[in-house]
């Protein structure tokens, strides 16, 4: 049996829905730090989308009173991942995430360059850039300035 005959034909993640402790705080974070647009606000909920996309929404936020920070010792989603179009976008994301105190790590995976951050509820996400023609070489430290310089780009 091959994946072609047994797979479901999935192509991409269209949206993600999260339980958060404070919708307004989370909207500010995803809008002001990551650049999402608020598509539809509701009391105790909001739907956000990536600018310029024809999709209805990419992120749903639902407030759940009393929600606590994730417990690292229990099974849960590890992180979601959002792709940027240009390496300079990744550099800009690093700056915004660092300024917001949300950046928790970075990696060079050979096929992608990744930043890892946590939202106000401690939910982890990845922002990555796909390296054209990259090959998987394991995980190494990310030298973003070196990657920009190698491509003749300056950090924003």
Q: Tell me the average confidence (pLDDT) per consecutive run of 10 residues in the chain, 156 residues long.
A: 60 87 96 96 94 92 86 81 94 96 97 95 93 91 97 90
Identify whether 89 is part of a domain: yes
Q: Are residues 88 and 129 in the same domain?
A: yes
Q: What is the pLDDT of residue 1?
A: 46
Which of residues 26, 43, 65 is at a domain's end? 65
Q: Are residues 60 and 98 in the same domain?
A: no
Q: Are residues 41 and 103 in the same domain?
A: no
Identify whether 5 is part of a domain: no
Q: How many domains does the chain have?
A: 2
Domain encompassing residue 116: 78-156
Q: What is the pLDDT of residue 69?
A: 80
Q: Are residues 97 and 39 in the same domain?
A: no
Q: What is the pLDDT of residue 4?
A: 53
Q: Are residues 55 and 82 in the same domain?
A: no
Identify whether 72 is part of a domain: no
Q: Are residues 44 and 96 in the same domain?
A: no
Backbone angles phi, psi at 22, to 5 degrees: -150, 105
- Radius of gyration (Cα) for the chain, nearest Å? 17
Q: Are residues 61 and 82 in the same domain?
A: no
What's the DSSP call for residue 14? -
CATH number at residue 46: 3.10.180.10
Identify whether 104 is part of a domain: yes
Identify whether 6 is part of a domain: no
Q: Are residues 84 and 152 in the same domain?
A: yes
Q: Are residues 46 and 118 in the same domain?
A: no
What's the DSSP call for residue 113? E
- Measured distance CA(150)–CA(125) in Å, rounded: 27
Q: What is the pLDDT of residue 9?
A: 67
Q: What is the pLDDT of residue 155?
A: 82
- Measured distance CA(143)–CA(101) in Å, rounded: 20
């Amino acid at each position: 049996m091959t994946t072609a005959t047994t797979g479901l034909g999935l192509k991409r993640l269209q949206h993600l829905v999260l339980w958060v402790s404070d919708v307004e705080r989370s909207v500010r974070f995803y809008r002001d730090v990551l650049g999402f647009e608020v598509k539809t606000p509701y009391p105790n909920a909001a739907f956000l989308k990536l600018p310029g996309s024809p999709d209805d929404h990419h992120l749903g936020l639902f407030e759940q009173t009393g929600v606590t920070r994730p417990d690292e010792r229990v099974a849960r989603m590890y992180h979601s991942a959002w792709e940027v179009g240009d390496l300079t976008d990744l550099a800009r994301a690093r700056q915004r995430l660092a300024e917001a105190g949300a950046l928790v790590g970075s990696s060079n995976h050979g096929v992608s360059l990744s930043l890892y951050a946590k939202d106000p509820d401690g939910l982890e996400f990845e922002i990555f850039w796909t390296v054209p023609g990259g090959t998987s070489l394991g995980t190494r430290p990310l030298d973003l300035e070196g990657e920009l310089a190698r491509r003749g780009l300056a950090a924003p």
